[in-house]
């Protein structure tokens, strides 16, 4: 895999139906440290995240980012340390369940039976000797009119809460990296 300079999301999920982006600046000059913190940030350090995840009935006890992703059946699709990493999943088949991705090329190509492809990227950019920009972007590709219509209402309802979770994750990364 050779992702273009534009990024992993542009390579693996160039077309999408819905997206949202957030960013923060971390006062830490070590981009590798910021990257490593983001890969395994402790989500339990945010009361808002804990509350929202419990209300949604999401897995408990898996509060480190990587363990949470695994419990959700999300795949760590690709990474370019220390520039970015991408987590993804797809939905389809019986009950439109979340499906693990066997290999990265599978996600990029057409997936028979898929109704959605979802990617979460974190990007890191050294601004100067003492600051790193951390940006997160979520993209959702709805495959077919039925999927788009069904997801539209869901997205309208959850987008503010999803955005809050992303902002909280960025805050946790910033707090840990700056400590």
Q: What is the pLDDT of residues 55-81, one digit of tens each?
A: 988 777 778 898 888 888 899 999 999
Beta carbons of 50 and 164 less than 8 angstroms apart: no
Give pTM, 2 decimals.
0.91
Token pair listed for 143: 């495959």
Q: Indicate the CATH number for domain 15-178.
A: 3.30.530
Task: Give the pLDDT confidence score for residue 5 in this predicted structure.
Answer: 52
Buried b (16+ CB within 10 A) or exposed e, 125-144: eeeeeeebebbbbbbbbbbe
The conformation of residue 1, written as its DSSP 8-state character, comes to: -
Task: Give the pLDDT confidence score for residue 166 in this predicted structure.
Answer: 97
Phi-psi label, residue 147: left if phi above 0, alpha if psi -120 to 50, beta otherwise: alpha
- pLDDT above 60 (res 173): yes
């Amino acid at each position: 895999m050779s992702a273009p300079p534009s990024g992993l999301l542009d390579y693996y999920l160039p077309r999408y139906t819905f997206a949202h982006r957030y960013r923060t600046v971390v006062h830490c000059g070590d981009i590798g440290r910021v990257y490593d913190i983001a890969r395994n940030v402790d989500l339990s350090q945010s009361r808002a995240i804990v509350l929202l995840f419990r209300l949604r009935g999401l897995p408990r006890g898996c509060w480190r980012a990587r363990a949470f992703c695994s419990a959700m059946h999300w795949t760590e699709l690709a990474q370019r340390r220390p520039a970015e990493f991408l987590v993804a999943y797809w939905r389809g088949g019986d009950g439109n369940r979340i499906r693990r991705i066997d290999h990265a090329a599978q996600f990029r190509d057409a997936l028979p039976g898929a109704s959605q492809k979802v990617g979460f990227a974190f990007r890191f950019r050294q601004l100067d000797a003492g600051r790193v920009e951390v940006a997160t972007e979520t993209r959702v590709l709805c495959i077919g009119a039925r999927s788009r219509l069904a997801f539209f209402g869901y997205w309208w309802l959850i987008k503010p809460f999803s955005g809050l979770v992303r902002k909280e994750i960025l805050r946790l990364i910033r707090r840990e990296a700056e400590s």
